[in-house]
Amino acid sequence: MKEIDELNIPENAKYTKDHEWARIDGDTAVIGINDYAQDQLGEVVYVELPEIGDSFEKGEEFGTVESVKAVSEIYMPLSGEVTDFNEALADSPELVNSDPYGDGWIIKIKPSDVSEMDQLMDKTAYFAMLKG
The residue-averaged pLDDT of 75-95 equals 98
Residue 2: inside a domain: no
CB 30 within 8 A of CB 117: no
Would you state the pLDDT for residue 23?
98
Would you state the pLDDT for residue 18?
97
Residue 14: inside a domain: no
Residue 113: inside a domain: yes
Residue 6: inside a domain: no
Residue 38: inside a domain: yes
Q: Which of 36, 46, 2 is nearest to 16 (CA)?
A: 36
Contacts of 27 (CB under 8 A, 6+ apart): 110
Residue 8: inside a domain: no
Domain of residue 127, CATH code = 2.40.50.100
Distance separating alpha carbons of residues 71 and 8, to the nearest angstrom: 22
Would you state the pLDDT for residue 63?
98
Would you state the pLDDT for residue 75?
98
The residue-averaged pLDDT of 114-124 equals 97
The residue-averaged pLDDT of 89-113 equals 98
Residue 1: inside a domain: no
* Structural domain range at position 95: 19-131
Helix, strand, or coil (residue 102): coil
Phi and psi for 88 in degrees, rounded to 5? Answer: -65, -25
Would you state the pLDDT for residue 55?
98
- Identify the band that residue 59 occupies on the pLDDT scale cut at 50, 70 and 90: very high
Average pLDDT in the chain:
97
Residue 126: inside a domain: yes
Share of the chain above pLDDT 70, in %: 100
Kindly report, residue by residue over 22-36, the tens digit of the pLDDT. Answer: 999 999 999 999 999
Would you state the pLDDT for residue 60?
98
CA 15 → CA 22, 37, 45, 52, 91, distances in Å?
A: 7, 11, 23, 23, 27
Distance separating alpha carbons of residues 111 and 27, to the nearest angstrom: 8
Distance separating alpha carbons of residues 17 and 121, to the nearest angstrom: 8
In the chain, the number of structural domains is: 1
